[in-house]
Amino acid sequence: MSDDPLLRVEGLEKEYATADGLLDRLFGSGRTVTAVDGVDLEVREGETLGLVGESGCGKSSLARSLLRLTEPTAGTVSYRGTDLTACSRSELRAVRANVQYVPQNPGASLNPRLTVRDIVGEPLEVHDVVPPSERDARVRDLLETVGLAPGHAERYPHEFSGGQQQRIAIARALAVEPEFVVLDEPVSSLDVSVQAQILNLLADLQDEFGLAYLFIAHDLSVVAHVADRVAVMYLGKIVDVGPTEAVFDDPSHPYTAALRSAIPEPDPRWEGDRIVLEGTVPSPDDCPSGCRFHTRCPRVLSPAEYDLESETVRAIRHLRKRLADGEDGLESVLATSGADDDVPAAIRDEFGLPAELEDDDAERVLADALEAVAAGEIDDGRARLASAFATPCETDRPRLEPVGDDGDDRSIACHRFDDAYADHLPDDSETRTPER
Ligand SMILES: Nc1ncnc2c1ncn2[C@@H]1O[C@H](COP(=O)(O)OP(=O)(O)OP(=O)(O)O)[C@@H](O)[C@H]1O
């Protein structure tokens, strides 16, 4: 396997203009969704690169724009040295004989009016792979290659199970004898036993034809078994990329750690607690400032001025978030506290904050803020906490930078791995921090 990348993606962006209604369309007042935001990525010859992230993080948009199935907004995609973003339609057609896309949900993407013979035979015709007289025989061969019967050629897609439909989609992609295939969630809609069959088939095809795969999945456990390297995506950005083993075993981006901990049967190599992420993925048309993951991150950095444990930092952040909702955010606490009750103590209790913080200066700020809240001055309390407990994760955007001993092969976008933010690591830093 050569180390020169087959495909190099640099600064790839994909924006969608969305129009909610007729007026938006008429006046051009719709919003812009940035689904892919400056992605750099490499796929090497013969390897499987797993691309993982929650639904809506931009995986399909990335895959489709790098193949120019949808036009990227910015960036370059170089395939064996040819910049696909600068190619004419006919040049692109020539490249497509080497690069194929197997879309998500083959049941919906296979044309229901065509027989399997026509579906698999179409790329043979478009790319003139074999003479017309040999096409039917080639289709039958391809069906056998993916484990279907040659006789299936005369049937229609709806006559097949989900696993068989996936095999048809794979046969169609293989028709042009590609060297790189993008597989968009190839097993996510299948039963576990069928998933294993498709994964085995893909591995066999890779061995036989020396294929490189970009394997997209929302589930890290699937990718763990098939990928040589893994790239983790969050809200349009790659936040962690490296050899599969390293991404699993070495200090990871907090988002990767959360995905890893969510694997139902934890990887036997890893002994850790389940990390439950707060809230849901923010909308890509309203991305958080700083690190996009900070609103859900269990390991945000603490202010450099104080020595606080992660748990305390997290609790204060939780309180800040609730205060941002004004009185409503603390309604449950304030409603149950009577006039004579110690409201600050009730708030500490609600948010798991100790009676006294371990850092005296931090304690003074918190106590004053809670007094303000107890006096009904919610805005004042929120402002005091916001200015004293701001973290660089809220303001500074982390860049994907090489970390640790793997050199360029392991990169993480997280301030925890950046020496410049060493003063901000909470006292009980849960991650070993490889040097950048
Ligand atoms: N054609 C489109 N027009 C407007 N917004 C779009 C379009 N396609 C995707 N999006 C938005 O872009 C974001 C990324 O979507 P995308 O389908 O690329 O994510 P994904 O990670 O592949 O998700 P899934 O696994 O659910 O397919 C989402 O917020 C989605 O709503």
**DSSP letter string over 372-422?**
HHHTT-HHHHHHHHHHHS--HHHHPPP--EE-STTGGG-EE--GGG-GGGG
Kindly give the number of the ligand 1 atom that is closest to the alpha carbon of 62. Answer: 18
Q: Give the residue-averaged pLDDT of 175-201.
A: 91
Q: Span 179-187, mean pLDDT? A: 94
Task: Determine the Cα–Cα distance for residues 250 and 38; give it in Å rounded to an integer.
Answer: 25
pLDDT, one tens digit per residue, over 49-80 is 999 999 889 999 999 999 999 999 999 999 99
The confidence score (pLDDT) of residue 158 equals 94
Average pLDDT value for the chain: 87
pLDDT beyond 60 at 228:
yes
Higher confidence at residue 158 or residue 278? 158
- 233 and 223 Cβ atoms separated by less than 8 Å: no
Domain 5-22+30-249, CATH: 3.40.50.300
Asked if pLDDT for residue 217 goes beyond 90, the answer is yes
| ipTM of this complex prediction, to 2 decimal places | 0.97
Give the nearest ligand 1 atom to 218 CA: 25
Q: What residues flank ligand 1, with Cβ below 6 Å? A: 16, 18, 33, 35, 53, 55-61, 104, 218, 284
- pLDDT at site 268: 57
Mean pLDDT (whole number) for 261-283: 70
Atom 8 (ligand 1): residue with closest C-alpha?
Answer: 61
Q: Which atom of ligand 1 is nearest to the CA of 233?
A: 21
Cα of 285 vs centre of ligand 1, distance in Å, is 11
Q: Is 102 helix (H, G, I), strand (E, B) or coil?
A: strand
Q: What is the Å distance from ligand 1's center to 56 Cα?
A: 5
pLDDT, tens digit (0-9, with 9 covering 90-100), for 336-365: 666 567 888 888 988 899 999 989 999 999
% the chain with pLDDT above 70: 87
Among the listed ranges 64-73, 240-249, 316-325, which one has the minimum average pLDDT value?
316-325
> What is the mean pLDDT of the segment spanning 400-411?
80
Q: Where do the structural domains in the chain lie, given as residue ranges? A: 5-22+30-249, 310-390
User: Residues with Cβ < 8 Å from 28, sequence gap 6 or more?
Assistant: none
162-174 vs 116-126: helix crossing angle, rounded to 10:
20
pLDDT tens column, 17-33: 876 666 666 666 667 89
Closest ligand 1 atom, CA of 53?
21
| Strands across the sheet containing 82-83 | 31-44, 5-18, 74-79, 82-83
401-402 sheet: strands from edge to edge: 99-102, 180-184, 212-217, 48-52, 229-234, 237-243, 411-412, 401-402
The fraction of the chain above a pLDDT of 90, given in percent, is: 52
pLDDT of residue 428: 60
- Considering only residues 337 and 385, tell me which one the structure prediction assigns the higher pLDDT: 385
Contacts of residue 266, defined as CB under 8 A and 6 or more positions apart, other chains included, come to 272
Choose one of 61, 189, 292 to mutate for the ligand 1 pocket test, by most ligand atoms within 8 angstroms of C-beta. Answer: 61
pLDDT at residue 332 above 70? no
Tokens at residue 164, please? 């068989």
